[in-house]
Amino acid sequence: MHLFEAIIDANHRAVAGDANASLRPAEFADELPIIALTCIDPRLNALFPNVIGLPGEQFIWLRNAGNIITGTLSSTMRSLALACAVKGGREIAIIGHTDCHVAKTTTTVLLDQLKVLGVDRAHLPANLSEFFGTFGSERQNVIKACTFARSSPLIGPKIPVHGLMVDIETGKLDWVVNGYETLHAPSQPTMAKTDFATMGALGSFKDFDMGEMKFPEMKIGDAALPAKPVEPAPKPAMITVPPAATPPPPIKKSPLPPIKMKPPLNPYKDFRRG
């Protein structure tokens, strides 16, 4: 049984009322100390490290709001890496908790609360959700954090990364990600390499005799098909335009006879005075 399998087993027995439920850390000396990342919720102060069953010197406690990891090279990953390299952490546990207030805080509410504190929206990143790592599901947040930690180049391949949830009321621990299973999961397939041993079994190139090779006796180019003569492209059909018809001679018009005009009337000719 691995360390965290024993921790969860003892935890479940204790929550069920077994007064004799306990963990024997000396049996897991090769897996200690552990590194635990939890939320900053003050209600967790009374739970850890009691729910783990480890003495304080074997429990390296890291905390941030919402036990959030935003990337494989984030500041939280830096702290986890240093806890492994400097403090000798052997296993990592990312522990979320029920009734997390960070999960209940929407981006709109967060903006309002920051405004009350005098924080100007113009000074904040454009994508608040991505920057603060806000989430709506505690379990999904733990899974995401484990994925970042497991794939981070800062964490060695021999360190298990676990994901757990703790009930804020009872202190019961439950698996979300079993780091022992993901640690021993098959790696991604790599490009196949040349099997030189197999090539040796098939024979070496030193026994190759150039004289044993037979080449065709035809001359280079004999097997080529004769080039088909290229027929000239047909000339485009010429469209014959008939000559324009000779216009008929203009019609000669005889001059019109002069028009005889009557003499103008004399308005005074027949005027008689009365």
Reduce the secondary structure of 36-96 to three states and give it as a string: EEECCCHHHHHCCCCCCCCCHHHEEEEECHHHCCCCCCCHHHHHHHHHHHCCCCCEEEEEE
- The three-state secondary structure class of 34 is strand
Domain ranges of the chain: 3-103+135-183
Report the percentage of the chain scoring pLDDT > 90.
66
State yes or no: cis peptide before 255, omega within 30 of 0. Answer: no
Assign 274 a pLDDT band (cuts: 50, 70, 90).
Answer: very low
Q: What is residue 99's predicted lDDT score, i.e. its pLDDT?
A: 98
Q: Is the pLDDT of residue 188 over 60?
A: no
- Spatial contact of 154 and 81, defined as CB atoms under 8 Å apart: yes
The tokens describing 30, both together, are 């090769």
More confident residue, 253 or 88: 88
Q: What is the CATH number of domain 3-103+135-183?
A: 3.40.1050.10
Tell me the pLDDT tens digit for each residue of 28-73.
999 999 999 999 999 999 999 999 999 999 999 999 999 999 999 9
Find all residues with CB under 8 Å of 40, minimum gap 6, and list them: 63, 64, 65
